[in-house]
Structure formats: C-alpha cells, structure tokens
Amino acid sequence: MNFYFVFEGKTEAIVYKKWLSFLLPHLTEVDSFDAVSQNNYYYESDMGVPDCYRVAANAIQEINEVPKYDYLVLFTDADRMTVVEKKAEALQQIKLNLENKTFKSLPKNCQFEIIVQKVCIETWFLGNRNFFVRNPQNNEILKEYIKYFDVTQSDPEDLASEFEQDKENSKEIFGYKTKALFHEGYLREIFKERNLSYSKSRPKEVQEKFYLDQLLARIKANIDHLQSFQEFIEFCAKINIQENK
C-alpha cells in the first residue's frame, strides 16, 4: 500500500512520522510524489488552514497522475469545531478547490481519510498519565490548571469545553484566545515541571514510543477518552489488517 499524507502543521509531520514507524513499520518515506512503489508514503506539511485544503486538492491531481496510491489522508485540527463539523468543512473546501482542477476526484483504487485532532495534537499529548506530575511543587500556573481541569482524570478532549470561542477570538481563557493555545500552554507547564520544554518544531518526548504507549494505555483504560486519537489508531489497525490479508 502507498499513502499520500497532508499534515496541516509542522508538529504533525514530525510526530506522525515517528509514530507510524511503530504503528505501521512496513512503510518507508519517499521524497517525491511520483517515487512511490510499494509500502511507501509521501507527505506535504506545515501549510495551515485553509491552505491544507488547497494542498489536498492538489494531491488529488498528483494521485491521478501517478495512480499508485491506496490512501490520501488529511490530518488537521478541529480547533473550535467538533470533529464532525471539521470533516464537513474539509470536504466542502476541498470540493471548492477542485472546481478549476482537471481531476475532480480520486482514482477508484484510492480512498480518502480525514484524521481530525480534537482540539489539536497537543490535546492528545495531554493524555499521558505517567508523564503528568500530579503534585507540582513550584509551578503555581500548573496547580491552577489542575484545579480547573485535571487531565489525568477527565478526558483531555473536554478541556475548556465550556469556553465559547468565537471566530474573532475576542474572548480569553487563562490568558489564551483559543482552546488550542490553552491546551498547548497546559502541556508546556507539564513539561516545565519536569524541567523539560515543549515546542511545535521540537516536540521531542511526545514522538517517542514510550509516550505513544502511554496514550494507548489511556484509551485502553478509558475507552471514552481521546476519541479522535482512537480514530487514528483504528485507521492504523485497519491498514495492518488489510496488509495481512
């Protein structure tokens, strides 16, 4: 099988590539879309929204030119939307971007998948209970966050669910204008308590197998937590089943 991945952000490309080496170890990366042969993947990343929809529409053109792909997969953040709303937006915007293109759809042998990170990929990273410091000693900000919402006990995807974020980002929560920025900020404070740092360009620990294993343990222990992360894991499981038939 061959895969064309479109990652909305820069962090996704770094983390997913490493996670895929554990979850789908038979896949290898190629440097250009027309270089795929067998069990390869090609990706585009770090274009943001709405440009990721344009890139996905362009990917459809390239896949038609080189019809060796089995899947086109778009990875994107839900941000203030629900997962269902985000998928609907993606489909609508990609359709609009296809209006002036030669090819309007994928070849019959290629399927389209949308993996939505609710609220953002950092939301998933908050699910590692072992990495979390339950009783921070010197971090008053983290203490405040835990008092507000303990991500070890409650589903990280529900963090700040009552915050009514508007399109203009005119409101704030703990000084952040968006849920995604707050989730990322919460994660940074967890890292600080361990005398570590987190950044989107250097996600370090979160891409490692020990971190992924703890997220898998979280959804095994709490099947109602991290539902959007579970969609990604289910996608990988489906691929493994198809490969082993």
pLDDT digits (tens, 9 = 90+) for 138-155: 899 999 999 999 999 999
pLDDT exceeds cutoff 90 at 18: yes
Exposed/middle/buried for 39, CB within 10 Å: 0-12, 13-18, 19+? Answer: middle
Least confident interval from 15-19, 101-105, 137-141: 137-141
Place of tokens 């849920």: 179
Q: Mention every residue, 6+ apart, whose C-beta is less than 8 A from residue 244.
A: none
Q: How far apart are CA 128 and CA 211, in angstroms?
A: 7
Average pLDDT for residues 62-89, to the nearest whole number? Answer: 97
Query: What is the band of 198 on the pLDDT scale with cuts at 50, 70, 90?
Result: very high
Query: What is the band of 245 on the pLDDT scale with cuts at 50, 70, 90?
Result: confident
Q: What is the pTM of this model?
A: 0.96
Q: How far apart are CA 186 and CA 228, in angstroms?
A: 19
For 130-165, letters b (16+ CB in 10 Å) and e give ebbbeebeeeebbeebbeebebbeebbbebbeeeeb
Q: What pLDDT sits at residue 165?
A: 79
Q: How far apart are CA 94 and CA 113, in angstroms?
A: 13
The structural domains of the chain, ordered by start, are: 3-117 (3.40.50), 123-221 (no CATH)
Is 9 in contact with 200 (CB distance < 8 Å)?
Answer: yes
Tokens found for residue 131: 């990495």
Which bin fits 49, alpha (ψ -120 to 50), beta or left (φ > 0)?
Answer: beta
